[in-house]
Amino acid sequence: MNTLVIEKEELRHNIEKVKEHANKTGKDDNGIHLKIIAVVKANAYGLGIVEYTKFLIDNGISFFAVATIEEALILRNAGIKEEILMLSSTAIEEEIKILVDNNIIITLGSKESIKIAEEVGIKENKMIEAHLKIDTGFGRYGFVYNEKNDIVEALKEVKNIKIEGTFSHFSNSYFDDKYTKEQFERFIDVIEVLKKNKIKTGMLHICNSSAFVKFPGMHLNAVRIGSAFLGSLAFKNQMGLKKIGYLESQVVEIKNLPTNFNIGYSNVYKTKKAIKVAIIPCGYMNGVNVTVNKDMFRLIDKLRYIVRDIKDFFKKQSINVKIRNKNCKILGRVGTYHVTCDITSYDINIGDKVIFKVNPKFVDLGVRREYR
C-alpha cells in the first residue's frame, strides 16, 4: 500500500520558524501580535485537511482559511470550532446561509454579496461576521481597488454585517517586487478611504507565504500562510524551512530484461544491455514527477521556460527514487500507477521500502496520509 508520509517534527519545525519570523514584526498600534491565518485549501496542500488542521491547532495556530464551502464544512463536521474564513466571495443566498449557519466568516467582494448577506442577516436575526475583499490587481474575487465609492456606498446602510477584516491577495509576490509594492499601495489607499468614511476595516491582511517572507513591512495585522508551512517556496530563503512529505511504497516485482528491450509507453527507453529492474506501484496519479503546468503566456515567461529546459537538458538526470537507501534511476516514462527502476547494481528484494520525493498536493486523494 502506498502512503504519503508527513514528518511531524519537520512540520513542527516549520511552524516554529514561521512564528519566529512573525514575531520579528512585533506588535501593532494596539499592542496585538501579528495574527497567523493558516490556509488549508486543496486538502491542506495535500497533507489531509482535518489531520493537518488539528496538528496546527495543537501547535498554537487558531485561525484558518479555506477556498470552498465543502472545505469549511469538512472542518466543522470534524469538530473543529476555531475561526474559519471563507476566502472566496459569493452572492448566492443559499451559500451565504450555509456559511452563516456553520459559523464560517464570509468574504464580501461585491455590492451584490453585501446586499444578499445583509438580507440573510435580517431574515435570521444574526450579526454576520465578514471580511471585505479588495481586488488590487488579481482579477478574481473582490471590489476593484478604484471602486472606493462603490464600497462605501454598499456598506453605508448595513446593520447586520460586522466587518471583522479587510484583505487582498498578491498575484506575483514571489517574483515581481515592483508590482507587489504597487498592489500594497493600492490596498492601503482603499483602507484610508474606508476609514475616512468611518467604515471599520477590522483586521488587515494581504501577505501570502512569499510576501510574508520577503516583505515584513507589509505584514499589517495578519498574514496568510500556506506553502511556507510545507517548506515549499518559489525562491531561496534564510528561514531554514524543511520540505514536508514523501511518498512511501514498496517493490512488488523484480525481473531481468534483455538488451534492446523497450520500457514504458511510447518506447522512449530501450535497454543498452541486460539489466535487472524493480516494478513499483506508483505513478503520476501518486504525484511522481508531476509539476505545475507551464500556463503563462507572456514572451518573457516562455523564454524563462526555454532557458530552464535547456539547463535541465545539460544536467545529469535527477534520480528521484530511493530503494533501501540507494538512489535508483527510473527508466522510461512514468506510468499512471507504476514506474520501472534500474536495480542492476544493488541487492534489492521484493517488499523493500521505496521512497519518492513528491509534492503532496499532487498525490491522489485516495492515497493514505500518515503523520509520523
Q: Give φ, ψ of 348 to 5 degrees.
A: -120, 140
Catalytic residue flag (residue 265): yes
Query: Nearest Cα to 278, choosing from 357, 358, 350, 356?
Result: 350
The domains of the chain, with CATH numbers, are: 8-230 (3.20.20.10), 246-356 (2.40.37.10)
C-alpha cell read off for 27 = 506588535
CA distance 89 to 106: 7
Contact criterion met (CB below 8 Å) for 95 and 139: no
Q: Scan for cell 452563516, then name that residue.
A: 100
In angstroms, what CA-CA distances link 139 with 45, 145, 210, 234?
A: 23, 11, 19, 22
Mean pLDDT of 203-222: 96
In angstroms, what CA-CA distances link 297 with 137, 292, 305, 367?
A: 17, 14, 11, 33
Residue 196 has pLDDT above 60, yes or no: yes
Contact criterion met (CB below 8 Å) for 154 and 111: yes
Which SS3 state, helix, strand or coil, does residue 263 take?
strand
Amino acid type, 237? N
Burial class (CB in 10 A: 0-12, 13-18, 19+), 173: buried
Q: Are strands 353-356 and 275-280 parallel, antiparallel or unpaired?
A: unpaired
Burial class (CB in 10 A: 0-12, 13-18, 19+), 70: exposed
Mean pLDDT of 180-197: 97
Query: Nearest Cα to 134, choosing from 151, 159, 149, 117?
Result: 151
For the CA atoms of 15, 18, 19, 25, the dihedral, rounded to the nearest 10 degrees, stands at -170
Residue 260 has pLDDT above 50, yes or no: yes
Residues 6+ apart with CB under 8 A from 260: 270, 271
Residue 321 has pLDDT above 60, yes or no: yes
* pLDDT attached to residue 215: 94
Query: Considering the chain, what is the average pLDDT of its residues?
Result: 91
Contact criterion met (CB below 8 Å) for 52 and 60: no
Which SS3 state, helix, strand or coil, does residue 20 take?
helix
Query: Nearest Cα to 247, choosing from 323, 326, 343?
Result: 323
Q: Are strands 128-135 and 143-144 parallel, antiparallel or unpaired?
A: parallel
For the CA atoms of 360, 364, 368, 370, the dihedral, rounded to the nearest 10 degrees, stands at 10
CA distance 363 to 360: 5
CA distance 46 to 57: 18
Query: Which pLDDT tens digit goes with each residue over 121-171?
Result: 999 999 999 999 999 999 989 999 999 999 999 998 899 999 999 999 999
Mean pLDDT of 4-31: 88
Name the band, by pLDDT with cuts 50, 70 and 90, for residue 25.
confident
Contact criterion met (CB below 8 Å) for 74 and 49: yes
Among 21-35, 69-83, 106-120, the minimum mean pLDDT is found in 21-35
Catalytic residue flag (residue 141): no
Among residues 8, 19, 41, 97, which one is catalytic? 41
Among residues 123, 200, 265, 270, which one is catalytic? 265
Residue 66 has pLDDT above 90, yes or no: yes
